[in-house]
A and B are shown apart, each in its own frame.
Chain A
Amino acid sequence: MTATARETVLRRVRDALSLSDGPAVTVPRAYRTGRSLPDEERLALFVDRLVDYRAQVRTCTAATTAAVLAEVLREHGAQKIGIPPGLDPAWLAGYDGETVTDSADVPAPRLDVLDGVVTASAVSCAETGTIFLDGAAADQGRRALTLVPDLHLCVVDLSSVRTGVPEAVAQLTPEHPITLISGPSATSDIELERVEGVHGPRTLAVVIRTDR
């Protein structure tokens, strides 16, 4: 009986290891973990990084969320926005445009006619200005929703902003579809000159709720 590709590859790996006799290794973990910064410092660091990526940043409180979101959507001329099914309806109380609630059976071309999308977020990393979206969370929605429209308005609670990458990664549920976002889509493929807005959203607007 001939061996399957699986058996062959695994046998080769085992043969290779007995031939090459690699050194047993202990993985050192001396890099920074478990860091925490006071609210104000974390906020300042996060905003600095987001602005560096040319994301648009606003802050608000729980009470002013609806007013600030309406203002940002108006500034961008967003007449028609998509929202995940579990988004807090109170957030859009001040918005007078059309709202389309997303679901799994909405085809991608239908997302393409939206001016923008509003979502919450799972966790963020201040040091790198990265927002983590959990596709399994009802207020963040499936991955296509935050990808196809030109404007992504993302609401981040300051309490969910961690200092460094290890602290943020520790908050994730690995089995969920997760998207890490650091600014709008970009490319440096032409003469290594950075250009924003390639296939993903051209604009990332982040609204940070400082009392949440």
Chain B
Amino acid sequence: MSSSTGRATNDTFLGMPAVPPRSPYGTGHLRGERTFPRAAHDELGNEQLRRNLGKATHSIRAKRLAVTGELPDWEQLRDTGSAIKTDTMNRLPELLEELERKVTERGGTVHWARDGVEANEIVTRLVRDTGSDEILKVKSMATQEIGLNEHLESQGIAALETDLAELIVQLADDRPSHILVPAIHRNRDEIREIFLRHIPGVDPALDADPARLAAAARAFLREKFMTTKVAVSGANFGIAETGTLAVVESEGNGRMCLTLPETLITVMGIEKVLPRFQDLEVFLQLLPRSSTGERMNPYTSLWTGVTPGDGPQEFHLVLLDNGRTAALADRIGRAALNCIRCSACLNVCPVYERTGGHAYGSTYPGPIGAVLTPQLAGMHGAKGDPNSSLPYASSLCGACFDACPVKIDIPSLLVELRHQHTEQAGTTAEKLAMKAAATVMKQTGLFTTAQKAAGLGRVLAGRDGTLSRLPPPLSGWSDSRDTPAPPQQTFRSWFASAEGAAAMRAAADEGARHTDDPQEAS
């Protein structure tokens, strides 16, 4: 079986295609306050964070390897998953229209949002129409990205997160730091503190045992599930062929929110569409194994519009752009849209493991965040845009590419973004230095002189033969690295010296003794 498709043709729109806009500057959570190196510098000082993260990422890596390794066709599944996503992007216009048609046929209402601001307005209006001033939330990256909770709050609507980790983050007035486990930067003692302080009527004798902490959250939310009339969710997949939506979860809070309220509002990024229902057979294998290292996550809900007598009788689907079309317009960068938000790349990344998620300043941290955030929100929204530092938040080791279930070549995307940033940045100290280096290296005389001058660097080096601080503009480099002192003598000057000549003669004699060629033996 295979399906081959060309690209969508456009019969209605004549004229030159316009580059779609990024997510509007200053909205939502796709940009931090500080550049990555600056934020990372502070996060690295948090030993508790590094311990929590190290422990968590190592345990999940082992689990992921075990459950992906037991499938003989894992690589074939990855190939298919990757191709389905690429094919989806190629056919996005008709797939979105088909999804809209199917959801509408089944009694749902579809809304379109150009950006996060518009999506927030749509959700606010829909909640108002129900007469409710409180809603329940299913964990959702898209609603985090657009800052929905904060917007609702400003409009007098209380939004309560129901996923355990999201609840922890919300109660502590904190920000998520991981795609899958948003409170990964917190340990059990910190969580106990948060619950004691913020959950009304919690048992003051609550200890830090994870099972009892989870039970406290269960007790707190139980009554809310039974009484709240409106829920807002994201979606892992939206099936164009049938209009079916999917939410993949573990705790059952998702099922509660998708089942018990009267009204359900789902906010879905347009890239989450899949062509056919059958495609689930691939992604229901790729996602849980990559994400939590389980053969299957405990609960997955599939629903299609409205079902009389079962679940919410009013269903709204909000399709969100918010910079996704800008990413799609980039020949290389569009691959980032294939992401299924499994978080495997975060868990294997040596940089993420040390800095944590907050350093990236975006809802999307880690390797995928470093490529997706600049695509959605741009890198040059203003002078000194922190997002322009994200493509450099990587050692390019490639572990993320190996772990990605849909084979997004994150290192190549990072390099492309670095290139785009350099092109945009105009004349920088680095650019001038490189230009000067090129001039020097082209001319032997200049190069020899420069090497001699570099030898003077030894004077600046410490006793251990390293330079710990370089003068600006190189100080940015030396802030986090030691530079070895230049050698006393360049290779060229050694080669030209008596010592060099003697060494070369000795080597030639040695070579002659060992050669097998009689012609060469004398």
Query: A: which residues have CB within 8 A of B?
Result: 4-6, 8-33, 49, 52-53, 104, 107-109, 112, 125, 127-130, 135-136, 142-144, 147, 165-166, 169-170, 172, 174-193, 195, 197-201
Contact = CB atoms under 8 A, between A and B. Distances in A.
Nearest to A184: B298
A182 to B, nearest CB: 4
Interface of B: 1-8, 10, 13, 17-21, 52, 55-56, 59-60, 72-73, 76-77, 79-80, 83-84, 86-87, 89-90, 92-93, 96-97, 106, 111-114, 118, 162-165, 168, 181-184, 187-188, 191, 210-211, 213-215, 217-218, 221-222, 225-226, 239, 241-244, 250-253, 255-256, 258-260, 270, 277-278, 280-282, 284-285, 292, 294-304, 307-311, 319, 321, 325-326, 328-331, 334
Contacts of A108: 225-226, 260
A212 B97 CA distance: 43
A185 B251 contact: yes
A171 to B, nearest CB: 11
A190 B164 contact: yes
A20 to B, nearest CB: 5
Contacts of A166: 278, 281
Contact of B114 (A9, A181, A184, A197): A9
Among A22, A177, A198, max chain B CB count under 10 A is at A198
Contacts of A112: 222, 226
B442 to A, nearest CB: 37
Contacts of B222: 112, 199
Given A21-B331, A22-B89, A49 B295 contact: yes
Contact of B214 (A4, A135, A198): A198
A13 B183 contact: no
A201 B252 CA distance: 8
Contact of A199 (B77, B251, B309): B251
In the complex, the 3 A-B pairs of residues with the closest C-beta atoms, listed nearest first: A200-B252, A104-B309, A15-B17
A130 B18 CA distance: 47
Among B73, B93, B118, max chain A CB count under 10 A is at B93
Given A27-B83, A147-B256, A187-B251, A179 B17 contact: no
8 contacts: A12-B18, A16-B334, A144-B260, A166-B278, A169-B280, A188-B292, A190-B214, A192-B56
B4 A26 contact: yes
Given A21-B331, A147-B255, A13 B93 contact: yes
Contacts, number: 302
A27 B87 contact: yes
Nearest to A169: B281
B284 A14 contact: no
A177 B302 contact: yes
Among A23, A30, A174, max chain B CB count under 10 A is at A174
A183 to B, nearest CB: 6
Nearest to A125: B296
Contacts of A178: 301-303
B244 A174 contact: yes
Contacts of B251: 185-187, 189, 198-200
Contact of A195 (B87, B162, B214, B242): B214
Contact of A29 (B1, B111, B304): B1
Contacts of A191: 52, 55-56, 187-188, 210
Contacts of A52: 295
Contact of B325 (A12, A31, A176): A12
Contacts of A201: 252
Nearest to B183: A189
B255 A179 contact: yes
Contact of B83 (A26, A107, A175, A179): A26
Contacts of A197: 211, 214-215, 218
Contacts of A200: 251-252, 255-256, 298-299
A153 B250 CA distance: 19
B269 to A, nearest CB: 11
A168 to B, nearest CB: 8
Contacts of B270: 9, 13
A184 B297 CA distance: 10
A17 B8 contact: yes
B164 A189 contact: yes
Contacts of B244: 174-175
Contacts of A15: 13, 17-20, 325, 329
A199 B218 contact: yes
A198 B217 contact: yes
Given A5-B113, A188-B181, A190-B188, A181 B298 contact: yes
B191 A190 contact: yes
B164 A16 contact: no
